[in-house]
């Protein structure tokens, strides 16, 4: 069921129930008012009848009744003293026969239905005969009971017409409200249709297009804003994918070109065994270079997909950094670089030992590869609060502060790295960032006054 149909159905049911309650309340209030007026007219008629009775000792019954002219308004009454026989009656006495003894003494009006289907309403009142004689009759003789009843067919007809009018008016109002609500809902939901058209018009070849929010209702603005944010992320992801494809094509073209040229040169003319061995060694180096890049790409892919299993344990960062520097000592000697290390005793972090080793070894290799030859690598390992920290810095005069924002981008390399012998791919820092997040840590980089520094923060272990 559509939103339009659901809202319209619920609204119509609610409006119908409200109209039914309102019409019923109006009918009951008007009915009560009409019955009250009907009863007041009966009471007034009863008092008029009581005024026509006089005490007269000369008559046989002791009362004299001045009977009014018979009326054609279906009224019947009878007059009785408190004790004694009937004084007078007039009208269709069947109207009075339905009044029970309890009704006659209750003083309230009641309704009954005759055998022929007519409805009757009657009541009884107590009245006192008014006398201005010098010697009035005793009070018990002056007290009368007047029982009066009247056919209610005129009242019933008015109430029936009222019910019909209220029903017709209620139905008309309900239909009008349903039509107005349907039109209003269609107008209110029209922006959803426009939004659907705008989304359908989006093209993957034009990722810079966004959904305009100029004529969008306020209730839909969060949806439009979230969609535009999603489009921004999609565009960013597609752009990164394009950049990645271009970068990896560039990275593969250079070693494949070298591999091809080496093979073509050796196939171009006859060579001795030593030349062939040298060519094969060159090809093997190129293959190892490409294999290292593919392995790092696979490791990055697994890290992003959450497929790297971790075994969390206490890891001594001080010992780990010393070990990684010792492993890279030969490279440091070749570039005449030395380390200035500050060890704050054993610093234990809670991490996966293998992943922590990859992070630290990449940082050491990055410092030795991109730092100035003959320079210094400053290493600081310490604990701050609930975290263990490794800071590693080197001189980088060609690296600007604006370049720091790109050091964690895949295949990004500074100009100094691009003039290297081809052993770097721009994958080390992105790999360190992903692995640090996997073990619950973080990594940041900054460059100030020609000094580049990387800081890795890991959760502190229990042993420090």
- Residue 314's DSSP bridge partners are 350
Give the model confidence (pLDDT) of 240-295 as tens digits.
777 767 767 766 777 788 888 888 888 887 878 888 888 888 888 888 878 877 88
Q: What is the CATH number of the domain that holds 430?
A: 3.30.565.10
Residues 345 and 274 in one domain: no
Q: What is the CATH number of the domain that holds 224?
A: 1.10.287
Residues 156 and 276 in one domain: no
Q: Is residue 175 part of a domain?
A: no
Provide the residue range defining the domain that includes 68: 3-160
Q: Is residue 390 part of a domain?
A: yes
Q: How many domains does the chain have?
A: 3
Residues 298 and 393 in one domain: no
Q: Is residue 454 part of a domain?
A: yes
Structure tokens at 421: 């012998």
Residues 281 and 322 in one domain: no
Q: Is residue 116 part of a domain?
A: yes
Q: Is residue 194 part of a domain?
A: no
Residues 77 and 142 in one domain: yes
Residues 40 and 105 in one domain: yes
Other beta carbons within 10 angstroms of residue 121's beta carbon come to 22
| Rounded alpha-carbon distances, angstroms, from residue 137 to 47, 54, 63, 425, 436 | 19, 10, 11, 132, 118
Instruction: Identify the three-state secondary structure at position 208.
Output: coil
Q: What is the CATH number of the domain that holds 12?
A: 3.30.450
In the block, which residue shows the tokens 């010697």? 135
- Following CA atoms 332, 357, 456, 364 in sequence, which dihedral angle do they give, to the nearest 10 degrees? 10
Which ranges in 269-375 belong to alpha helices (H)? 273-305, 317-327, 329-334, 353-370
Residues 107 and 229 in one domain: no
* DSSP per-residue string spanning 250-300: HHHHHHHHHHHHHHHHHHHS---HHHHHHHHHHHHHHHHHHHHHHHHHHHH
**Which span out of 24-28, 355-359, 421-425 was modeled with the highest average pLDDT?**
24-28
Give the model confidence (pLDDT) of 8-27 as tens digits.
888 889 889 999 999 999 99
Phi, psi of 78 (to 5 degrees): -145, 150
Residues 154 and 11 in one domain: yes
Q: Which of 144, 160, 176 is the last residue of a domain?
A: 160
In this predicted structure, the answer to whether residue 326 has a pLDDT above a threshold of 80 is yes
Q: Which of 85-89, 130-134, 417-421 has the lowest mean pLDDT?
A: 417-421
| Rounded alpha-carbon distances, angstroms, from residue 447 to 158, 312, 421, 436 | 95, 32, 24, 20
Helices H, strands E: what count in the chain? Answer: 12, 14
Other beta carbons within 10 angstroms of residue 133's beta carbon come to 8
Q: Which of 138-147, 220-229, 383-392 has the lowest mean pLDDT?
A: 138-147
Sequence-distant (≥ 6) Cβ neighbours of residue 341 within 8 angstroms = 321, 322, 325, 378, 379, 380, 381
* CA–CA gap between residue 103 and residue 145 (Å, rounded): 12
Chain centroid to CA 235: 26
Q: Is residue 249 part of a domain?
A: yes
Residues 335 and 443 in one domain: yes
Instruction: Identify the three-state secondary structure at position 63.
Output: strand
Q: Is residue 94 part of a domain?
A: yes
pLDDT of residue 421: 40
Structure tokens at 106: 């209750």
| Rounded alpha-carbon distances, angstroms, from residue 279 to 211, 285, 360 | 58, 10, 35
pLDDT of residue 416: 43
Q: Is residue 167 part of a domain?
A: no
Residues 409 and 431 in one domain: yes
In this predicted structure, the answer to whether residue 209 has a pLDDT above a threshold of 90 is no
Residues 285 and 141 in one domain: no
Give the model confidence (pLDDT) of 154-207 as tens digits.
899 999 999 999 999 999 998 998 899 888 888 888 888 888 888 888 877 777
Residues 284 and 339 in one domain: no
């Amino acid at each position: 069921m559509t939103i339009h149909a659901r809202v319209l159905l619920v609204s119509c049911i609610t409006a119908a129930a409200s109209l039914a309650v309102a019409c019923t309340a109006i009918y009951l209030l008007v009915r009560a008012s009409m019955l009250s007026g009907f009863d007041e007219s009966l009471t007034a008629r009863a008092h008029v009848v009581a005024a026509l009775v006089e005490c007269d000792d000369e008559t046989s019954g002791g009362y004299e009744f001045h009977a009014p002219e018979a009326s054609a308004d279906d009224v019947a009454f009878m007059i009785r003293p408190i004790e004694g026989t009937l004084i007078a009656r007039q009208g269709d006495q069947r109207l009075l026969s339905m009044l029970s003894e309890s009704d006659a003494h209750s003083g309230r009006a009641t309704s009954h239905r005759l055998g022929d289907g007519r409805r009757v309403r009657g009541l009884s009142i107590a009245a006192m005969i008014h006398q201005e004689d010098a010697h009035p009759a005793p009070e018990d003789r002056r007290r009368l009971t007047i029982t009066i009843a009247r056919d209610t067919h005129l009242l019933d007809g008015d109430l029936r017409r009222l019910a019909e009018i209220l029903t017709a008016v209620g139905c008309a109002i309900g239909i009008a409200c349903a039509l107005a609500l349907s039109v209003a809902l269609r107008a209110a939901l029209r922006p959803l249709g426009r939004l659907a058209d705008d989304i359908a018009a989006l093209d993957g070849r034009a990722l810079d297009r966004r959904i305009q929010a100029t004529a969008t209702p306020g209730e839909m603005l969060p949806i439009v804003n979230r969609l535009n944010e999603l489009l921004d992320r999609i565009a960013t992801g597609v752009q990164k994918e394009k950049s990645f494809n271009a970068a990896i094509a560039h990275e593969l073209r250079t070693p494949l070109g070298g591999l091809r040229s080496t093979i073509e040169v050796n196939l171009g003319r006859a060579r001795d065994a030593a030349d062939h061995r040298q060519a094969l060694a060159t090809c093997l180096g190129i293959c190892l270079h490409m294999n290292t890049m593919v392995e790092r790409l696979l490791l990055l892919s697994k890290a992003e997909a959450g497929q790297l299993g971790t075994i969390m344990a206490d890891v001594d960062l001080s010992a780990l950094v010393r070990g990684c520097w010792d492993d890279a000592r030969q490279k440091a000697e070749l570039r005449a670089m030395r380390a200035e290390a500050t060890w704050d005793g054993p610093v234990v972090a809670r991490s996966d030992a293998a992943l922590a080793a990859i992070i630290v070894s990449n940082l050491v290799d990055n410092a030795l590869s991109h730092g100035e030859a003959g320079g210094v690598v400053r290493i600081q390992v310490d604990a701050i609060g609930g975290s263990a920290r490794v800071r590693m810095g080197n001189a980088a005069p060609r690296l600007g502060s604006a370049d720091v924002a790109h050091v964690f981008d895949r295949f990004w390399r500074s100009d100094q790295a691009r003039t290297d012998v081809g052993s770097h791919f721009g994958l080390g820092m992105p790999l360190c960032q992903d692995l640090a997040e996997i073990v619950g840590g973080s990594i940041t980089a900054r460059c100030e006054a020609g000094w580049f520094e990387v800081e890795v923060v890991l959760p502190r272990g229990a042993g420090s």
